[in-house]
Amino acid sequence: MEAKLSLFSAYENIELAEKVLADLARSFMDEEGIYWAAMALREALANAIKHGNKLNPEKRVLVTIHLEEERELRITVEDEGEGFDPSQLADPRSPENLLKEHGRGVFYIRHFMDEVSFGRSATGGSKVELVKRLSRRST
Amino acid sequence: MKGSFRDVQGVRILDLSGKITIGAGDVELRRLVEEALAAGKNHVLVNLKDVTHIDSSGIGELVACFTSVKRRGGAMKLLNLPPKINDILQVTQLITVFDVFDDEAEAIASFAG
């Protein structure tokens, strides 16, 4: 089962993508599992809209949600920005970063999902792929 | 996110509900805290009982509000953390930064100490 969304760079669209994920996953995952996957999707989309496309309404974010029963949930989020280097991200738990306003999004994504990988989208922007492995009824 | 406030024994209590997320909830939280400081209320208690989601922007705003209240010589504390919001604060170890209470009267009394 798969859904593909092409979204304008507006925060309101995060709600839409979250709803599509929840509707799609309802038969395969429990409420808790959907909640945390949706939180990861929110963070990835917010990054794409804000840091990738810099809120430019003419730029799109492409979201693909792919579900294989009892196997995995795979989400990709692609933007039309300039890409970024995830190795440059600091640990938000370090004492010097603890009270910083920004810099926790990717850390949360990694915590909520089983696998996270970063690459380049077809337009040269960022592409992030999130995987949650599913058991019979996954959390 | 919906937010309202009450003043109890000199403490500005912010009752929040819904999503503290990018573009809406985080902005509303900032507005409520700025309003409290403008009114001279620098003892702020954030009641998260009915908050369902908080993303990294919401967390960032909580931290920014905490810092700006402290800079004004006050304190910002948290009340009634739902389990998922607690988990989110645990993951980034912010739970060590905030004073967290389950009892409102106890939280209010703590500002006097």
Q: Which domains does chain B have, with CATH numbers?
A: 2-110 (3.30.750.24)
| Per-residue tokens: B31 | 């507005």
User: What pLDDT, in 10s, does the model give residues B7-64?
Assistant: 999 999 999 999 999 998 999 999 999 999 999 999 999 999 999 999 999 999 999 9
By CA distance, what is A109's nearest residue in B?
Answer: B56
Q: How far is CA B1 from CA A3, B42, B47, B72, in A?
A: 28, 22, 13, 26
Look at the pTM and tell me if it is higher than 0.90.
yes
* A5 torsion bin: left (phi>0), alpha (psi -120 to 50), beta (else): beta
ipTM confidence: 0.93
- pLDDT 10s digits, A39-77: 999 999 999 999 999 999 999 999 999 999 889 999 999
Query: Angle at CA B84, nearest 5°, toward A53 and A41?
Result: 25
Q: Which domains does chain A have, with CATH numbers?
A: 2-133 (3.30.565.10)
Contact map slice: B 14-73 vs A, CB within 8 A: 21-24, 53, 55-57, 59-61, 63-64, 66-67
